[in-house]
Amino acid sequence: MDDATLVALARSGDGDAFGQLVTRYRRAAFLVALSVIGRPEDAEDAAQEAFLVALERLDDCRRPSRFGGWLMTIVRNRSNNLVRREALRATEQIPFSARSSTPTPEKEAQLSELRDEIARALGELPEVQRQIVLLHDLEGWKHREIAQRLGLPAGTVRSHLHYARKSLRKLLKPGE
Amino acid sequence: MVDNGSIPLELLDPGNSDPGHWARFQARVMALAGPELARRRATRPLTVGEVLASWWRLLVPASVVAAAAMASLLMPAETTPGAGIAIEEALVAGVDDEPLPAVLVADQVDEVAFLVAIEGGG
């Protein structure tokens, strides 16, 4: 079922339809939030909040066939609000980090270290490049889909993706 | 760190190390969305089909009751067996002569006797 049909059904309170929309966009929403906030726990909260706001404002979605792009705008806004709230609460800079606080076995510790390295490298990129590289390389969205959902020209998406990958490889190169 | 050029971004996906992660996320969102979904179900406008269905649900029992009432009104109050006039009686009503026995009894048909009876009677 396409987005427009699911949105129409969800507008009349169809839980299954809304559930399908959540399934379709939950990881993308998380990744966009992560690219703004930098902390997985907060990114998840922002993504969750964005879905609930989207449901409440579903009647304002003027182009239901482009629900994904509309949702990502909400995710970015909620994430930016969260970052601003955090910034007011604490004066320290919010790092882009995916660190885990739970003790782990040796292999998990290595993975955790690698995860932190990647997160740190991503933190060096501009926000738009983080979003694009995560949505393309992790969520599997095509250039055209990213362009449509983030409201960017397709050529710009390709260019950002190219530079993002190049920067990440350089930042994660052994010995650097 | 990244020796073959590919960056293992999947490590950033919480579902990568915890297969049930996204199912739990989904369950949380759906639980929190419950009241809003219920509100939407309660306030949504009825479709043409639903209006027709509601009429149908009302009209069918009403029609059955009306039909039963009309049937009870149209039925005669009392029916007595034999009240109608039998065909045989109607045919012989007002005829003084005796009916021809050979004609009236099928298994005794005899053409000669019949003709004699006709000729003789005429």
| Residue A55 · residue A10 · CB < 8 Å | yes
Which residues of chain B neighbour A55 with C-beta distances below 8 Å? 33, 36-37
Higher per-residue pLDDT: A90 or A122: A122
Interchain proximity A51–B8, CB inside 8 Å: no
Average confidence (pLDDT) over A35-50: 90
- Residue contact A52–B14, C-beta within 8 A: no
Cross-chain Cβ contact B42/A13 below 8 Å: yes
pLDDT of residue A93: 46
Range with lowest mean pLDDT among A29-43, A105-119, B10-24: A105-119
Q: Is A52 on the interface with B (CB under 8 A)?
A: yes
**Residue from the list B10, B11, B33 with its beta carbon closest to the beta carbon of A18:** B33
Q: What is the mean pLDDT of chain B?
A: 77
Q: Where are the domains of chain B?
A: 15-44, 96-121
More confident residue, A124 or B76: A124
Q: Is the pLDDT of residue A79 over 60?
A: yes
A147-160 tens-digit pLDDT: 988 889 988 999 99
- Domains plus CATH for chain A? 1-94 (1.10.1740.10), 99-176 (1.10.10.10)
Q: Residue B104 pLDDT more than 60?
A: no
Q: What is the mean pLDDT of residues A81-103?
A: 62
What ipTM describes this predicted complex?
0.76
pLDDT value of position B105? 60
**Average pLDDT of the residues of chain A:** 86
Among all residues of chain A, which has the CA nearest to that of B32? A52
Contact check, Cβ <8 Å, B1/A13: no
Tell whether A66 lies on the interface with B, counting CB pairs under 8 A.
no
- Residue A56 scores a pLDDT above 80: yes
